Structures are given as C-alpha cells and as structure tokens.
Amino acid sequence: MPDKDEENAPCQLYRFGNITAIKKLDEGSRKRVGFKVNVHIYAPSTPFSTHQRKLEQPEDMCPFSDDPPMFGDASFSLGYISDKTYYGVNISMYKDEWIFHYFTSKCVLTSSTLFVRCQVAVCLELRWFTKPPYMNNQANASMLCKEKNGLGLTGNYNADEYSWMASEATPKKAQAAGIPDYEVGKGIWFWVDGKSEKRLKQFVMEDDTHGGTSAYPWWTNQPDGTDVLFCLYMLYRQNYIDDIWWVKLLQCPN
C-alpha cells in the first residue's frame, strides 16, 4: 500500500503462491506490507485442536499493538474456497522474515462437499443405510462413514453445516437413496458424532474438528440421558414454519 506521505508510491498486489518470504524492515524503511486477516473468528492454536481462542477486538479496530500479523502466535493460517478448492497459506516467522507455506485441499469424492472449520478444510457427506435395519446403530454408522477413505462420524461445526445437513437429509433424497416410503414416513434419523462413555452427558468425539456439541441443535430439554452409553443422532421434524433437525440421545447397544 502507498506510504501515507507518498500518494504516488507504487502498490503491488501478489497472487496466491507467488510470494515465499517477506523480509521484515524497521519503520524507517517507510514500506508497508498488508495481510488480510480476520481477527473476529475463533482460531485454534493447532490445526486439529479443540481448544480455541477468540481475539477480542471491536469490529472497527485492529490490534496493531500486538505484533501483527502474528498477534503473539508462532504462526497463523488463512485461506478461501474457490471452485470447490480450498486455497490456504500458513505464515510463520523465521528470524526477520515472514515465511509463506501454501497448500490446497479438494474433496476426492464428488458426493462430498467442502467446508472450512477455522482453517481446516473438511469434506462432508451424508451416507445412507440402504438395507434394513435402516436406522441401524451408531457403531455401524461410524464404520459406514470410514469406507472409501472416510474418517468416521462428525457433527455440524456451525449453522452453515447444519443447513447443508438438513438439505441433504430430506424425505425426497432418502427415497432417491432407496429408503422405502414406509420407512421415510416414520421420520428420518441419522447418527452424528458423540457418545457418553464414562460420564453423564459428556460426549466422546471421533472428530476433533467440529467443536464437540457446541453447535448442535438440541431437542427441548436435551441432553436428558440419566446414564452413560448414550449416542447422539439427528431427528427430522416438520412444523408449520419450516423443516427442523434436532439432536437427541439414544441408548447405545452393549
């Protein structure tokens, strides 16, 4: 960006992947480099950490006094989705240089959809049991989700993922997947990540990228399990305003 005292100073914009390092200069150089950083989101200290921090800043202020763009961290990541591909960059400090490491992520299966959880790209897919028992159990659902290089069960990380799940698990799509009409008429259920193994209402997760149950749309007065070994599932319900999914508990098989 131009120096504030040099209106005609050149401004150079570099595209993704073109810069590998930037040398940090002192203020006397009268040069500036800009990083597009969203400081209003939850950012994990490591890519798969469930421990998140939030940069508490008013929306109209940037924390200039806290060593931008690192803001006290050893590195930070940013990225964007374009044409079903996530373009990410990790920036770290080495001596007096910012080092750029670029990466891209793309879903291999055309049946899955790309989402970003903080700076972690994930591919989500809803899979159906196409033979009885159509509800089956959570353990078998986990095995089904590990087929074709899948990683297992997950849950919605935010409202966008919740909306996508709801759009994928409609009665029409259940019928298209081969679920009989009489089963669809009973209601649509699907298993999500979460099982209370040792402590009441404390759920162990297979996937540590979705933040646990923090974004789950709980059914009224849920979770209401009175013992351990309860598994979580989403239940489809219709009302007069909209179609809604709720998370409930079901006793896990022994």
Q: pLDDT of 171-192, one tens digit each? A: 899 999 999 999 888 888 899 9
Same domain membership, residue 135 and residue 99: no
176: which 2 tokens?
Answer: 């298209």
Q: How many domains does the chain have?
A: 2
Which of 53, 71, 103 terminates a domain? The answer is 103
93 and 130 fall within a common domain:
no
DSSP 218: B
Please give the average per-residue pLDDT across 231-243, as a whole number: 71
Same domain as 154, residue 241: yes
Q: Write down the pLDDT at residue 53.
A: 38
CA dist 64 and 71 (Å) reads 9
Q: Is residue 24 scored above 50 in pLDDT? A: yes
Any domain includes 114: no
Residues 97 and 138 reside in one and the same domain: no
Of 120, 178, 188, nearest in space to 154 by CA: 120
Q: Are residues 133 and 222 in the same domain?
A: yes
* Shared domain check, 160 and 47: no
Answer whether residue 36 shows pLDDT above 80.
Answer: no
Q: Other CB atoms closer than 10 Å to residue 106's CB: what's the count?
A: 13
Does some domain include residue 13? no
Question: Same domain for 149 and 199?
Answer: yes
pLDDT confidence bin for 238, thresholds 50/70/90: low
Mean pLDDT of 70-80: 81
Q: Is the pLDDT of residue 240 over 60?
A: no
Contact present, 145 and 136 (Cβ < 8 Å): no
Nearest-10 Cα torsion for 91, 92, 97, 101: -50
Q: Is residue 4 part of a domain?
A: no
Say whether both 156 and 243 belong to one domain: yes
State the residue range of the domain holding 135.
Answer: 126-251
Residues in the chain: 254
For the residues 34-63, what does the mean pLDDT come to? 47
> Closest by alpha carbon to 194, among 209, 208, 212?
212
